[in-house]
Amino acid sequence: MIVTIDGVAASGKSSVASGVARALGIPYVSSGLLYRAATLLGLEQGLALDDAASLLAHLHANPLRLEPRAEGNRVWVGERELTADLHSSRVDAGVSVVAALPEVRAWVDAHLRALPEPFVAEGRDMGTNVFPHAGAKFYLTASPRVRAERRAKERPEDVPAIEAALTERDRLDTVQSAPAPDARVIDTGPLPLEGVIGEVLEGVRTRMT
């Protein structure tokens, strides 16, 4: 069983995927953390983020390990855990550039497809490209203002600046982020977290019976 949860940036994918995974008793997989880790390592190395060959050479020399767990994913390079450093403004600003590179997307997809089922996979194109055969697919959305207000609670930045960054991120992610034809689209704006999780679980049970 694979459940996919795609959506725009800051739509609540990770929180929803974690809640759904805990309810189902299976891990969840955050594809975005691999893109963020690739971005972070590229920035630390001083690489051009649009240089796929250099990024991949560095990633092959410093293999990443994604640890999928229901309560939250962790990412390691060797003995160093990167997780706490992956959600920063500089990574936010560069990750769309990295995620748009076909070679990097293929590298991430290969990592994800090698993981043992069952799991909940969240990202941008899990239901359309990576796991088109998934048994249940969902796509989360919300207005840029709602998403900015949520993110402002996590970071010391003002809402208008975050909203502008998210709007630009949406524009950059248009190619990768779209609902699968058979995905259930959920507007998370008017719903609390538990309400979104409940809708997803209801959809999973409907599809799996």
**pLDDT of res. 62:** 96
Give the pLDDT mean for 5-21: 92
Domain containing residue 183: CATH number: 3.40.50.300
The helix/strand/coil state of 44 is: helix
- What DSSP letter does each residue of 68-108 carry, written as one string? --TT--EEEETTEE-GGGSSSHHHHHHHHHHHT-HHHHHHH
Q: What is the pTM of this model?
A: 0.86
Residue 68 is assigned to a structural domain of this protein? yes
| Distance of alpha carbon 73 from alpha carbon 83, whole angstroms | 8
How many domains would you assign to the chain? 1
Q: 7: part of which helix (H) or strand (E)?
A: strand 2-7
On the question of pLDDT at 209 being above 80, the answer is no
Tokens 């995927």 belong to 17
User: Residue 209: inside a domain, yes or no?
Assistant: no
Evaluate whether residue 171 is within a structural domain: yes
Residue 197 covered by a domain:
yes
Tokens of 120: 């909940």
165 in a domain, yes or no? yes
Distance CA 98, CA 206 (A): 36
Domain that holds residue 48: 2-204
Q: Would residue 195 count as lying in a domain? A: yes
Q: How confident is the model at residue 70 (pLDDT cuts 50, 70, 90)?
A: confident
Q: What confidence tens digit (pLDDT) does each residue in 171-203 have?
A: 877 777 789 999 999 999 999 999 999 999 999
For the residues 93-113, what does the mean pLDDT come to?
Answer: 93
Share of the chain above pLDDT 70, in %: 100
